[in-house]
Structure 1
Amino acid sequence: MDKSAARKAAFARRKAAHEAGCGTAGYLSEVLAGYRGVPLAGYMAMRTEIDPAAAMAEATAHGPVGVPVIMGAGQPLQFRIWEPDCPMVPGTFGAMIPESGEWMTPEIVIVPLVAFDRRGGRLGYGGGFYDRTLEGLRKRGSVLAIGFAYAAQEDDNLPLEQTDQVLDMIVTEKGVVSLQ
C-alpha cells in the first residue's frame, strides 16, 4: 500500500473513532505526570485529531508547554509557549497558535498522527514537519516523542521511509501501547 492509500484508510478510521466520542487525554495525563517540569510541546487538535489539551493544561502547572508553529515549507517546527487561556490565532493549515510569546525547546513532544504501528512507526500528513523537527531535536540531545492517537489508528502495514522518525511511546484513549 502506498502512503496516499494508507492515509485515506487511516483518516477514515480516525474519523469514525472521533465521531464515536471515545477520545480522552486521561492516559496521556498519567504518562506526563511522570515528567513534571520537563519542557513539553503538544499540539492544538484539528479536525478529527484526538485532543491533548486537557493533559497539556495540567502540565502547565509544572513547567513550560509549547505548541508547534510552522515557519515554512521544508523547515522544522518551532514551539511557542502556550497557556490554556492565551490569545490564539490561526496558523498555517488552520492550526491555532499563540498570538505572541516566547519560544521554547521541548524535551517531550506530543506528536499528532494519521496512523501508527507497534514498532513506533508513524504516518503523518506528508509534510515532514515532525520528522525534520524530531531529527533536529535528537541531534541536540534527548527528546521523548510521544505519539497520541485513537487506538483505531493502529496499522501494522505502514509504508515507512528511512527519513521517518520513530516514536518512543504511543498513547491512546485506551492506554499506553507496548512497542515491540
Structure 2
Amino acid sequence: MTISDQHDADARPSEFASPTGLMHEADPACDGSKASEAAPSNIPAWRQTERQRLIDERKSLLSAQREEFTRLIATYLDHVIADVAGQHVSMFWPFLGEPDLRGWMATATARGATCLLPVVIAKNTPLIFRSWKIGERLERGIWNIPVPAEGRQAIPDVVIAPLVGFDNNCFRLGYGGGYFDRTLAYLARKPLIIGVGFESQKINTIHPLAHDIPMDVIVTDTGVRYR
C-alpha cells in the first residue's frame, strides 16, 4: 500500500533557526505564567468535551481554508527547522481534519531528513518511530491510521505532533490516549517538540496535570510560539 492508496482516507540546538516574527512577543502568557482560569472539578471529563468540540470545529473547515492554513504552517516550520539535513524528524499522518503535511514531509526527505511516523505497539506503552517516505509500503495501525510496514526504527531528533488544542503555556491537548506524553517521558534523549495545529484550536488552558509535557514550540497558521 502506498501513500496514493491512502490519500483519500479519512536554545534549541544551533541547527534550529528562529523565525523573524515570534508570536510569544505578542502573547506574554507563553512565558510559562500560570493561567488564571479555575480548574473544573473533573478535568478528564472536561477535556473530553473540549476535545470533541475542537475536533468538530476543525473538521468543519472548508477544504480551501485547510489547504491555505497548512501551506502557512509548512512555511513557518521551515523557519523553525532551518536545516533538516541529517535529522530524524517524526511527523504524523493526517487524521480528523488535521493539517496534511505529507508534502512538507516529502520536501524534508529531499533535503536530507529521515522522516519517521509513530507506531503504537501496545496499549499503555511508549510509541516507537519508523522511517517512511513516499512510495514505501504502509499498513493499518490504531484508529486505522497508516503506519510504515517495514521502516527502520529510530529515535527522533525532532517530534512534530498534531494538536487537538493548545494553551497559553504551550501545553498540548491530544486525543486522550496518553501515548505522546508517555513516549516523551520514556525517551533518554529529549527531542525538539513542535506542536502543529490551526490557530482556532487555541484555548485559555488545558488545565495541565502532572504527566502533561509542554511543547517547546507551537506552529499554527498565524505564526510561531516558543515556550
Separation in structure 1 between the aligned mates of residue 62 and residue 119 of structure 2, nearest angstrom = 24
Does residue 23 (structure 1) correspond to residue 73 (structure 2)? The answer is no
Separation in structure 2 between the aligned mates of residue 176 and residue 114 of structure 1, nearest angstrom = 17
The equivalent residue for 1:63 is 113
Give 5+ residue unaligned stretches, structure 2: 1-39, 41-45
Separation in structure 2 between the aligned mates of residue 105 and residue 147 of structure 1, nearest angstrom = 18
Give the TM-score normalised by the residue count of structure 1.
0.90
The equivalent residue for 1:99 is 149
Pick aligned residue for 1:153 from 192, 201, 214: 201
Structure-2 change in CA distance of 1:32 and 1:53 (3 Å): farther
Separation in structure 2 between the aligned mates of residue 133 and residue 107 of structure 1, nearest angstrom = 13
Give, in angstroms, the shift of residue 9 of structure 1.
2.2
Separation in structure 2 between the aligned mates of residue 56 and residue 30 of structure 1, nearest angstrom = 15
CA RMSD in angstroms comes to 1.7
Give deviations 1:11-65, integer Å, cap 9, x for gaps.
1332234643243122223323344322111011112111221222122121211
The letter of the residue matching 1:153 is Q
Separation in structure 2 between the aligned mates of residue 68 and residue 149 of structure 1, nearest angstrom = 17
SS of alignment partner, residue 69 of structure 2 = coil
Give the TM-score normalised by the residue count of structure 2.
0.72
Does residue 4 (structure 1) correspond to residue 48 (structure 2)? The answer is yes
Does residue 41 (structure 1) correspond to residue 86 (structure 2)? The answer is no
Give, in angstroms, the shift of residue 178 of structure 1.
4.5
Q: Which has the larger radius of gyration?
A: 2
Identity over aligned residues, as a percent? 33
Please list, as runs of the form range in 1=range in 2, the aligned pairs for 1:117-132 lying within 5 A after superposition: 117-132=167-182
Give 5+ residue unaligned stretches, structure 1: none
Give, in angstroms, the shift of residue 106 of structure 1.
0.3
Greater shift, 58-67 or 143-152, is seen at 58-67
Pick aligned residue for 2:159 from 109, 114, 126: 109
SS of alignment partner, residue 28 of structure 1 = helix
Which runs of structure 1 show a deviation greater than 6 angstroms over 4 or more consecutive aligned residues?
none
Give, in angstroms, the shift of residue 75 of structure 1.
0.6
Give, in angstroms, the shift of residue 109 of structure 1.
0.3
